[in-house]
Amino acid sequence: MVTATATRQLTYGQAVTEALRIAMREDPTVILMGEDIAGGAMVDHLVNDDAWGGPMGVTKGLVQEFGRDRVLDTPITEAGFIGAAVGAAATGLRPVAELMFVDFFGCCMDQIFDQGAKLRYMFGGKARCPVVIRTQIGAGVSAAGQHSGCHYSVFTHMPGIKAVIPSTPADAKGLLLSAIRDDDLVMFFENKVLYGMKGEVPEGDEGIPFGVADIKRDGDDVTVVAISRMVTQSLLAAEQLAAEGIEVEVIDPRTLSPLDEETILTSVAKTHRLVVVDEDNPRCSAATDIAALVADKGFDFLDAPIKLVTAPHTPVPFSPPLEAAYVPSPERIAETVRQIM
């Protein structure tokens, strides 16, 4: 994207921190809630230096600027504090709650989908729920079965929830700013493997609109729709394939709900081939949803079967070789593309 805005290198994690800081400066009703997000509660000497700022350090430094009334350490009580975030959102705050790992949604799903997501509809449009739930996804660090899932497909399924999944530092900043300013419940999925990824990030406070996919690489031969870390994996595959004369178009939907159907369909109309790459489990998933979209609305564009490259229908394994086999690799993506050329 060509833009006049100045940029500089930040990591994905730093981009998230920057978006939180900008949003908190511009709106005093924005508060953060989560387990250890400030850190060092009741340990005075930690407040100004070594407080955790979350287990990944993403919220580090914010309590020093905004104080403990706006950066709230919660007990390990997901139903309690996620529900409180929903209640606070319905009554005038803009909470950004951190669900440390998405796998913990089982502890608080009622508050997310039965309360927050349905409230506006059940109340006849008279209420709004401007809450953001930031959460970590992704395999790759041997965090095993209960700290490694993706599960954004679950939330994409549910009306009343917006599902936002950045794959780059710039997208993380811009999408998080839009999420916090949004008047609906937003699930914001940060891939733990990407926190250290560096990239050019715009200065300033501009958000990236939802429902606008980003074409991460142009190509005429095959469309690869990839989500979160799978964008990086697909770009690596695209380089391998380019050496073989296959030009891959890599599309990052960036938000699964809402979904930019038009960009996907336009690309498939050009390339006539679709591969969807998704680290989430394969059944009733974002991948099957996008495949169904193209089968339904873009069938006549297709010159080959739609292919999916996904994690298997298993929990995430612990042992490194098993985990490596679980996550779609550039090689697997490239091989799948070759099959339909």
Name the site residues for other proteins (rule: CB under 8 A): 29, 31, 69-70, 72, 74-75, 77, 79-93, 95, 110-111, 114-115, 118-128, 159-160, 162, 182-184, 211, 258
Could you confirm whether 147 is annotated as catalytic? Answer: yes
Give CA 18 to chain center in angstroms: 16
Distance CA 256, CA 111 (A): 21
What angle do helix axes 229-242 and 330-339 make, rounded to 10 degrees? 60
Indicate the residue among 162 and 229 with the shorter CB distance to other proteins.
162
Q: Which of 147, 151, 272, 313 is flagged as catalytic?
A: 147
Sign of CA dihedral 266, 268, 271, 276: positive
Cβ 187 to other proteins shortest distance, Å: 13
Indicate the residue among 181 and 332 with the shorter CB distance to other proteins.
181
Distance CA 73, CA 132 (A): 16
Cβ 123 to other proteins shortest distance, Å: 5
Cβ 53 to other proteins shortest distance, Å: 20
Distance CA 303, CA 142 (A): 39
Cβ 111 to other proteins shortest distance, Å: 6
Indicate the residue among 125 and 321 with the shorter CB distance to other proteins.
125
DSSP state of 329: P
Indicate the residue among 293 and 309 with the shorter CB distance to other proteins.
293
Cβ 79 to other proteins shortest distance, Å: 5
Strands annotated E in the chain? 7-11, 30-34, 71-73, 94-101, 132-137, 161-164, 185-191, 198-202, 214-217, 222-226, 248-252, 255-257, 274-278, 307-310
Cβ 93 to other proteins shortest distance, Å: 5
Distance CA 38, CA 54 (A): 7
Indicate the residue among 183 and 331 with the shorter CB distance to other proteins.
183
Distance CA 49, CA 155 (A): 36
Indicate the residue among 103 and 249 with the shorter CB distance to other proteins.
103
Sign of CA dihedral 107, 109, 110, 115: positive
Q: Find out whether 100 and 148 touch, Cβ atoms under 8 Å.
A: no
Residues annotated as catalytic (active site), given as ranges: 147
